[in-house]
Amino acid sequence: LDGLNFSVFPDALSHQDNVYPREGEAFANNNPDNVRTIFSPLTHSDPPKVYLNLITLHSKTLKLRDAQLSDPWCRDIRNNIASHLKDYSILKNDLLLYKEKIVVPDNPSLKLSILKSRHDSPLAGHFRQEKTYSLISQDFSWPGMTRDVKDYVNSCYDCNCNKSSKHWKYGLLQPLPWHSLSIDFISQLPLLNGYDAILVV
């Protein structure tokens, strides 16, 4: 490469003006006139958007907490945490956790919202049951979650339309020649135009 001019494009982990790709660091130091490093400016989220995301996340947490406080099952857990429910804990904001995961009460709309966010959203990518369950169980927990995830994924319209077929293509219908012919009469019917029987072939 000696004597040639070329450009170096660093990856996202080396966007600093004093960093060269590891393999070419020595060459760049010895040939500063032949190496030109191009740095792409990093884009940062707009502060209002960041605050909006934090507010949205906080709002969802408050909804879960309020639903927990009004749920009989969650209230019963809160009352028995000190005695024998060691896997449960309560945060300072009154949010109930199970093994560091948010406890979701028996609230269909909340469960549906979580299922949609971890399966239907662009970041989720309509994964299969196991992956969707893994994404949800990272942050949430509720009784029967495995069954709910399975039912939701199996009923997903987009997944059913786009999943590939796992069986052989259906063949063409092959009509078979007749070997025998059966006939029968349905008789003693009410008269209609002078007829009271039907010939069935």
One digit per residue, the tens of pLDDT, for the chain of length 201 reads 555 555 554 554 444 444 444 555 565 566 655 555 544 444 444 444 443 344 445 567 888 888 999 999 998 888 888 776 788 888 878 888 888 888 999 989 899 989 988 888 877 778 888 999 998 999 899 999 999 999 999 988 888 887 776 777 777 888 888 788 889 999 988 998 889 999 998
Give 90-141 as a DSSP string.
E-TT--EEETTEEEP-S-HHHHHHHHHHHHTSTTT----HHHHHHHHHTTEE
Here the tokens at position 6 are: 């070329």
Sequence-separated (6 or more) residues with CB below 8 Å from residue 197: 185, 186, 187, 188, 189
Every domain of the chain and the residues it spans: 6-37, 44-103, 107-160
